[in-house]
Amino acid sequence: MSHEVHGLGNFYATPAGLVTARLLRDALRQLWPSLPGQAVLGLGYASPFLRLWRAEAARCIAATPVPLPRWRWPRSARSCTTAVEEDALPFPDLMFDRILLVHGLETAENGRRMLREAWRVLKDDGRLIVVVPNRLGLWAHLERTPFGHGQPYSPGQLEGLLRRQMFQVEQRQGALFVPPFQSRLLLRGAGAWERLGGPLFPRFAGVTLMEAVKDFAALVPTGAVQAKKRRVAMAEGAYLSPRSRTTAPREPRVAALRA
């Protein structure tokens, strides 16, 4: 993962970071209201958002690429944090029901390989949410926030990337319509910005949240041609032996009459 993203822990401890985390959790809760008994993996810097399902999920694991700061879970929580390589996750195939990828794809050295690893460890009916900075949003162009680093994506670009990595997009949503204010006074109106921004300015969301599922149809080669049925034409004077199923010469009919 690129070292451009830094200060994530410090940002989410500021008033602007606390408001950002709350707004993103509200958006995530709309997509995944509850995950009872599910195995959940957070990739990137997802720990501040995994608390949504920590109490009800069977397992919550925050897999943080090495350059990013790790989150300290409460000792009583059924969760843990581990440092990983973004393209070589230390988990077996088909382990997780849900994966949340945030603060990861936009700064990944190889986003395609990162998504392929997520596909591998996700169960057959599992789901993935990717959170990335929106190319048209204001947050992607201000480096004082974590979303101002790395490669932003338009919704169309993100959907195309997911499809190429064998995911099928189910739904998408925008969040962070509020400008990245630093003033506590201006941040008080963040809720109103979110309520008005979605209906009025959906293309200018600060981030895009996209939910996808595994697409097994993508495993079938697109250029495959169905085999045509073959018709066997029997040559005159030949028959198919019932024992060997091979063509054997037939005795001339004239010879049989003479005998």
Q: What is the pLDDT of residues 158-216, one digit of tens each?
A: 999 999 999 999 999 999 999 999 999 999 999 999 999 999 999 999 999 999 999 87
Q: What is the pLDDT of residues 8-54, one digit of tens each?
A: 888 999 999 999 999 999 999 999 999 999 999 999 999 999 999 99
Neighbouring CB atoms inside 10 A of 254's CB total: 8
Q: What is the pLDDT of residues 156-169, one digit of tens each?
A: 999 999 999 999 99
- Pick from 51, 44, 64, 65: which is nearest to 147 by CA? 44
Phi, psi of 13 (to 5 degrees): -95, -10
Report the alpha-carbon distance of residue 186 to residue 182 in Å, rounded: 8
Interacting residues of 116 by C-beta distance below 8 A, sequence separation 6+: 87, 165, 166
In order of 68, 87, 164, 193, the CA distances from 115 in angstroms are 18, 8, 10, 32
State pTM to two decimals.
Answer: 0.80
Domains of the chain as residue ranges with CATH: 8-219 (3.40.50.150)
Interacting residues of 115 by C-beta distance below 8 A, sequence separation 6+: 105, 161, 162, 165, 167
